[in-house]
Structure 1
Amino acid sequence: MTIQGILKNLSAEDLELTKQYYKSIQPFAVQPSDTCEFDAEFPAEDGERIIAEITLDENAEIEDLYCTCRAGGLCVHLAAMMCDMEERKTVFFSGRMQE
């Protein structure tokens, strides 16, 4: 599934919670990647950093999701990354970097 597909399938409530969290962590940006492995760091309640990673295949389909928050599944950190990547067209720019 693609990032767009996952975001589209979120419930209205989950999407709203994700957008609120995304707003609260600004400035935040997932940088383009020439390897299609996108990393991000988030602040944690205990002062530690939460590390999240989204890996896409050559067709921009999600290959792997990982986050150190231990929430499991699609946590708010991964969802916030996806919102940012969609907003900033990160996957498009990463594809251009590979050409």
Structure 2
Amino acid sequence: MTVEAPIHLRLAAQQALLGHVTPNLRAFSVEEDGKTIRGLAVFEQPPSDHEIELIQLAGTELISHYVDSMIDDRIEVTSAPRPPLLAHLVYRRYEPGDGI
């Protein structure tokens, strides 16, 4: 994997998230494993059907940048202080206690 590959993946994921982020979304991260692009959306509360649809639409947009790959969208619900993440963090909302 070249240095440009993770940068392209992060930028493609950021573009895919535009218009698909709800207040319930805590974090979104991605990673590439061969021909599989993994996306992990972490929600504070169980996502509504609409929120699931929005994340799936973001996944469709993301995979459109990778013609020969497949997408593996995952959704987790947790209130843990540090949400689980894949290799590349794309989005993380501010939460009290973040130290900012």
Fold conserved (TM > 0.5)? no
Higher relative contact order (CA 8 A, sep 6+): 2
Q: TM-score, normalised by structure 2?
A: 0.34
Q: Which has the higher strand share?
A: 2
TM-score (norm 1): 0.34
